[in-house]
Structures are given as C-alpha cells and as structure tokens.
Amino acid sequence: MSGILYLVATPIGNLGDFSFRGVEILKAADRVLAEDTRNTKYLLNHYDIQAKTLEPFHAHNEYKKVYFYTQKLQDGESIALVSDAGTPAISDPGFLLCESALNNNIQVEVIPGPTAFVPALIKSGFALHRFVYEGFLPLKKGRKTRLDAMLSTSATTVFYESPRRIVKTLAYFEAAGFGQRKASVSRELTKKFEETRTDYISNLLEYFNETTPKGEFVVVLEGSEQYESRIK
Ligand code: SAM
C-alpha cells in the first residue's frame, strides 16, 4: 500500500505558531524533506522532534528528486515536506511532488498553518470577498505587464516583494497615475519588528524613501473596484 505525502505548514517567524498536528507528523514521518535543513533543524529542536531523516528538497533539486520520492511513497513510506517558512507550494517547492503523488494515486494531506499573504491581506483592511495572489513578480521580463495587470484588477491583489524593490514598485504605481490608490505594506509578520502600513501609495512611497525597507515584505494593493468607489 502507498504511503502518504504530508505538506506541513511551519511558522513564518513566531515559533509558537506551529500546530500540534504538524509536530506529530514530523515526529512520525519516515522522511522529512526540508528546503533548508539547517533552518528546519531549528524548528525540530524547538519542538524536540527527532525526525527519522532530514533531507534537502529545494528549488535546485526538486525536479531531480520528484521521481525518487514518488517511488518511496509508492513503496509505502510516509513523507513530510516543509519549506523554510509558511506553507509548502505557496511560492515555495512542493507543487511538483504533490502533482506527482496525486497522479500516482498517492494520498496527499495538507497540514494547514502559517502563510505570509493571509495575515497581510487581513491587516490591509481592504475588501476580501475576492482577492488575487500574485506571488513574486518576475524581476525583469514581464514585470511591467504584471504590475499593469494588477492596477486594472478589480479585486484586492497581494504579492511578495523584496525590500530592495518596494520603492521601485510603489514608484511605478505612482508614475502610472495611482498615487491616490491605497496599498498596504506588511513587514516581518509575527516577528518582533512586525509592522503594517496602509496608506495612499504616494504616502507609502514618501515613507519608504525616507526609511530603508528592511526584512520580509508582503504588499497588498487595493482593488480597482474599491478604489473607484472611494474616489467617486
Ligand atoms: N511559503 C511561504 C508562505 O506560505 O508564505 C512563502 C515563501 S516565499 C519564498 C518567501 C516570501 O514570503 C518572503 O520573501 C516574503 O515576501 C514573504 N514572507 C515570508 N515570511 C514573512 C513574514 N514573516 N513577514 C512578511 N513577509 C513574509
């Protein structure tokens, strides 16, 4: 009988955010696959988890390893996959192994938990009956197309951004004529220096031109529907 693939969400900063079920699964799994084994070791030590094995599974080896781990699952092993932080397969490795497991009729279980874009969306205070997750934007080719598409999206949009590009991205929105559109920038969610600023894009730009952005960031853009009804 085939084993089970577990995709286990882990904390995005505050170690207290790990679930009881996550702990039990990492303890019991035949293999724990981790994006960066040193980071995961820290989590395992904190929860006194003696994983049977801890093996690297990251963007640079996942294509090569998918077949191997699918076979191990078919042999009956249980495998738990974690990423460095948050939910595997959300802008992180995991999708390929999940797809392969499902294609081979292997049971997949997701242990839900932290993911950075959800608290950022909620803290934005923007309408959330519909939203679009854009993950990371391409660095060069196609970046402008995606930024323009976001500006014309009626629903709230959320994306991950590097502190090195926040100012450039906000400046692009302002230059496109949307200085009075609102955005929300969350940094270091669940950590000591957690901060969320929701404001007009032109004000955010001014702030981040004066205060060097540091840490991990999520940006939420007010949807065009909410923007247009606000400026009417
Ligand atoms: N799988 C993760 C998730 O479920 O959110 C996302 C992984 S992605 C490689 C890493 C990006 O997520 C960071 O560059 C940042 O944009 C965002 N992120 C992760 N942790 C964060 C935090 N504590 N505060 C703000 N953003 C965070």
Is 216 close to ligand 1, i.e. is its CB under 6 Å away? yes
Residue 102: pLDDT band (50, 70, 90) is: very high
Q: What is the CATH number of domain 4-111?
A: 3.40.1010.10
Q: Is the whole model's pTM more than 0.85, yes or no?
A: yes
Is 91 close to ligand 1, i.e. is its CB under 6 Å away? yes
Superfamily of the domain at 117-231: Tetrapyrrole methylase, C-terminal domain (3.30.950.10)
Domain segments of the chain as ranges: 4-111, 117-231
Q: For the segment 38-73, what is each residue's pLDDT rounded down to a tens digit?
A: 999 999 999 999 999 999 999 999 999 999 999 999
Q: Which of 160, 169, 192 gets mutated to test ligand 1 (max ligand atoms within 8 A of its CB)?
A: 160
Rounded to whole angstroms, how far apart are CA atoms 80 and 94?
Answer: 11
Indicate the pairing of strand 156-161 with strand 217-221: antiparallel
Q: Is the pLDDT of residue 96 over 90?
A: yes
> One fold for both 4-111 and 117-231?
no
C-alpha of residue 15 to centroid of ligand 1, in Å: 15
Q: Is the pLDDT of residue 83 over 90?
A: yes
CA 135 to chain centre: 7
Q: For the segment 13-39, what is each residue's pLDDT rounded down to a tens digit?
A: 999 999 999 999 999 999 999 999 999
